[in-house]
Amino acid sequence: MQRSGHDAVRYEWKAGTYVPENIIFCVDVDREADVEMKSGGGKLQGAALHRMDAVKQALLLFVHSKLTMNPHHQFAFMTLDRGASWYQREYTNNLDIINATIRNFSSQGSYPQFDLSSLLQVGVSEARVAQTQGRSLRVVLVYCRSSVVPEFQEQLMEQQNFTLDALYMHDKPGPNNCPQKVYDALVDVLEHVSHHEGYIFESSSGSARTLFRHICLLLAHPQQRVGQDDFANAVKDFALLKPPTEPRPQEETSNSGDLPYSVSLDLVLTKRSLSWTKFTKADNWSSTLDEAVLCACSGFFHTGSVESMNICCLPVSILYVSTGIELGIKLRNLQHSGDSS
Amino acid sequence: MGSTSKGVPIMPALVPQLEYLRTYSPVPIRIEGRQLKVGRGVSSGILEVLKTILRVSSVEISLDFATQIEHIRRGHHNAPYADRFTACIPCCLDHIKWDVVYNYQTPDLPPDVVFGADDQDFQPLLFVGDDNAAAQAAALGAWTILRDWTAKDYSRLLRFLLELRSLYLRHQRKRVEFVEDPRVRFEIGTISAMEGLEMRIFTGADRSEEVQFAIPLDIDLTQISRRLGTSSAKLWSGISLQVAFSLQRGQTFTGEKAPQLRLHAPPAMRDVFDVEDVKLPTWADRIYCDKKTTIAPYIGYPRMESIDLLLVGFMHVIGLGLCTDKKPVKMLRCLMEYVPNVQDILKAQVREAITSVGMRRSFLEALGPVFGRPLELETNLFRRVSIMVTSGLFCFLIHFSLPTQFPKQQPTLTFQSSQVKVIDESISYLWS
């Protein structure tokens, strides 16, 4: 790792090691998936949100995000009742099929037992097939039962050739349930079985926002993961960063000893709002990449409440500066382009 | 494989021959049809082997290889087995279709091959008497394969089709050589010895005809193969230039008319270098000589390249007005001097594409100190990285996408909210 002038970590990556994923979502269809969630921030209109509804939204968010990262990732689906059963057996990246599959999930009954062994066995065989195709396999468990501790055969508790993640939504601990035991069992399985670092997130708060945050963290490619706590702590919070108020003098922005490279990024927002004054000065040409993009991001999200942020933040591609001002960016350690216009 | 998409069992002797063809063919022969469906009685073991060999998937279907199995059909609805199929044979950067017909009642006999309607005069086995040694050898090879045919040798079908392909290319070359157009004859005369050159007469749907050349370009793709992490087989065809001279009916001279030019490259290359982004040099006439030259001095003109001498002679023959009154003359373009020009341009652009990979890598690695550890970074070609950031309680994603022509073309940033409800790709807002 190299230390940059920001005194932050610069990550270096080994070329040629990246493979697309086959991801199997295993969704709990026990009645506890019908428990109502909290409404979250802002006003929630319409019917109450149940765990299964939130899980569906989380899965859709995951799939859409993952396919934006790489359209060659593929997905299959299983349900969890007494064991694991195939729901959508063929891996696909077809959004129509995936949307229809996810929409059709629903709770099926109460299951006082859950045997994880069948799921682990499926993972082992599917991982072998994935490897022959130059892909990696990941199994994501979505579990909702607060009193049913997963069972598994001891002989399966050794490191396998796939990555296992888990999302656990449960009730608050009480005399009639044992979510801590369930959580401990899931952690135990992950630690023993998962090939790469497996992530597990639990929530008793019933907050959909928390679930969506957790599902975003699960987007992390297993081959490139670090420890779960390290990764979660590495997520930057732009609210804590101050955008520059004045442009730096030219000589201060030059990277002494480095070869600057000029790349211009046009950043435009498709919607209203924002105070653009901080972006209009031509001197911003000398801003570094981090400042320029942080300017855009912080201005973007300083418009006010969550509601207006949601409206502004559209999942569409390409954002351009609405004022048409180019932001010149200097990056370190790249060859000079010779063109700063 | 064991049955067609409609559950009809395939003639057992044919199955291993098709598997061999798809696994070992040095050229991309495609078996036309739809995606594989599992029929009754197909063992899961065979299915897995086929999927492993052919990488059948709803996404990764490469047009370079016969990864789609099917349209293997039977002769009539009462036949118990499917025993015939359509093979798409690569020719001149296109595919021609031949029907390969076995007989399930005599599986040990070789198949019949039915050529296209426009190839009525293609008689492959008559090339035994051809004056071209390679054609003779191919014809003899085909004869021998048929004479010694055995269904137990799974390689025979592939070898037979390859010999027929070789003979077909020879047949098309002879057709082109008989074209009376002096322009086409001149071009053939100058490039016919080029290795790997293919040519044919193509008849369009409107019965218009054109002479097509497929010229393989000498571009080293080793670096691109290495970046793609793939074997050279996926880039087997390299980059080729397709040139088409249209033959107008009633006219025997394409003359000064510019041909249609197009670059072809394996689709696998697109993530590193896309030939669609290459601007070919214009096929514009050149102003060559100055006022003082006349015909006679051309012959001994010290600065004249040999190809220009040929061009001068050609232009004289076709009466395109050489300089007789001390005026500058327009020189025609020809393939022999155009192709090296294209090669030089492509070599430079391939070098830039390779350099761009390193620059993209540096750019993406430089994002770490600012945005934190990414969720996913594509480390083969460094085209994409995705990062999760928050703003207080709000969590969102930033996707960076870098074009192959980075840094000449700028990156694209996509911001994606975690709070947006997505159903059927239409967007609504959870809390709006």
CA distance A107 to chain B (A): 20
Q: Are strands A74-80 and A21-28 parallel, antiparallel or unpaired?
A: parallel
Q: What is the CA radius of gyration of chain B?
A: 28
Q: Judge: A224–B372 Cβ closer than 8 Å, yes or no.
A: no
pLDDT for residue B320: 54
Average pLDDT over residues B301-328: 54
Residue reference for tokens 């001095």: B297
The residue count of chain A comes to 341
Compare B306 and B197 and report the one with higher pLDDT. Answer: B197
Verify whether the Cβ–Cβ distance A72 to B60 is below 8 Å. yes
Asked whether the predicted pLDDT for residue B229 surpasses 70, the reply is no
* Residue of chain A minimizing CA distance to B359: A334
pLDDT in tens, B136-166: 888 888 888 888 998 888 888 888 988 899 8
Q: Tell me the per-residue pLDDT of B371-381, one tens digit each, with 9 for 90 and over.
A: 788 999 998 88
Give tens-digit pLDDT for A24-72.
Answer: 999 999 999 998 887 554 434 455 678 999 999 999 999 999 999 999 9
In the numeric block, the tokens 């009154």 are attached to B325
Tell me whether residues A10 and B418 touch, CB distance under 8 A: no
Q: Are B413 and A318 an interchain contact pair (Cβ–Cβ within 8 Å)?
A: yes
Chain B positions in Cβ-Cβ contact with residue A317 (cut-off 8 Å): 401, 412, 414
Distance between CA B161 and CA B169 in Å, rounded?
12
Q: Is B25 helix (H, G, I), strand (E, B) or coil?
A: coil
**Whether the predicted pLDDT of B250 surpasses 60:** no
For chain A, strand residue ranges (E) read 2-3, 9-10, 21-28, 74-80, 84-92, 136-143, 163-169, 200-203, 236-237, 261-265, 327-331
Per-window interface: A 67-126 vs B, CB < 8 A: 68-72, 74, 90-96, 99, 103
Q: Does A267 contact B413 at a Cβ distance shorter than 8 Å? A: yes
Could you tell me the residue ranges of all domains in chain A? 21-36+48-79+117-223
Backbone angles phi, psi at B330, to 5 degrees: -85, 130
Q: Do B430 and A238 touch (CB under 8 A)?
A: no
CB pairs under 8 A between A and B: 235
Query: With an 8 Å Cβ cutoff, are A93 and B58 in contact?
Result: yes
pLDDT exceeds cutoff 50 at B53: no
| For testing contact with chain B, the best of A7, A45, A209 (most B CBs within 10 A) | A209
Tell me the nearest-neighbour CA distance from B261 into chain A, angstroms: 32
* Residue A37 Cα, gap to closest chain B Cα (Å): 14
Angstrom distance (rounded) from CA A90 to CA A92: 6
Minimum distance, in Å, between the CA of residue A203 and any CA atom of chain B: 16
Chain A neighbors of B59, CB-CB under 8 A:
71-72, 74, 92-93
Query: Does A338 reach chain B within 8 Å, measured CB to CB?
Result: no
Query: Which pLDDT score is estimated for B362?
Result: 86
Does the CB of A272 have a partner CB in chain B at under 8 Å?
no
Shortest CA gap A175–chain B (Å):
32
Asked if residues B39 and B2 have their Cβ atoms less than 8 Å apart, the reply is yes
The verdict on a CB contact (< 8 Å) between B380 and A41 is no
How confident is the model over A242-254, as pLDDT tens digits? Answer: 444 444 344 333 3
**pLDDT for the residue B214:** 93
- pLDDT on residue B431: 30
Q: B167 and B127 in contact (C-beta within 8 Å)?
A: yes
Q: pLDDT digit string (tens) for A140-169? A: 999 999 999 999 887 777 778 999 999 999
Q: Label residue A302 by pLDDT band (50, 70, 90).
A: very low
Sheet holding A74-80, edge to edge: A84-92, A74-80, A21-28, A136-143, A163-169, A200-203
pLDDT of A181 > 70? The answer is yes
- Encode pLDDT of B331-351 as tens digits: 567 888 889 989 999 999 889
pLDDT given for residue A98 in this prediction = 94
Nearest in space to B364 (alpha carbons), one of B407, B395, B317, B400: B400
Chain A residues whose CB is inside 8 A of the B390 CB are 213, 235-239
Which residues between 24 and 43 in chain A have a beta carbon less than 8 angstroms from any beta carbon of chain B?
A: 40-43
Query: Residue A61 and residue B430: Cβ atoms within 8 Å?
Result: no
Residue B108, C-beta contacts closer than 8 angstroms, at least 6 positions apart:
B13, B149, B150, B151
Name which residue leads in pLDDT, B272 or B232.
Answer: B272
B161 near B117, Cβ under 8 Å?
no
Higher pLDDT, B200 or A236: B200
Whether pLDDT at B290 is above 70: no
Cβ–Cβ gap A314/B52 under 8 Å: no
Q: Are the beta carbons of A62 and A10 closer than 8 angstroms?
A: no
Q: Mind telling me how many Å the CA of B9 is from chain A's nearest CA?
A: 23
Res. B80: pLDDT tops 80: yes
- The β-bridge partners of B201 are B211
Name the CATH architecture for the domain at A21-36+48-79+117-223: 3-Layer(aba) Sandwich (3.40)
Residues A315-330 pLDDT 10s? 222 232 222 222 222 2
Residues of chain B positioned with their CB less than 8 A from the CB of A229: none
CB contact under 8 A, B60 and A266: no
The region of weakest confidence among A52-61, A302-311, B272-281 is A302-311
Q: What percent of chain B has pLDDT over 70?
A: 70
* Chain A, nearest residue to B225 by Cα: A16
Model pTM score: 0.68
Residue A142 is predicted with a pLDDT of 97
> Which chain B residues are within 8 Å of A314, Cβ to Cβ?
415, 417, 420, 427
For A236, the closest of B371, B411, B420 (CB atoms) is B371
Inter-chain residue contact A307 with B378, CB threshold 8 Å: no
Based on its alpha-carbon atoms, the radius of gyration of chain A, rounded to whole angstroms, reads 23
Contact (CB<8Å) A41/B374: no
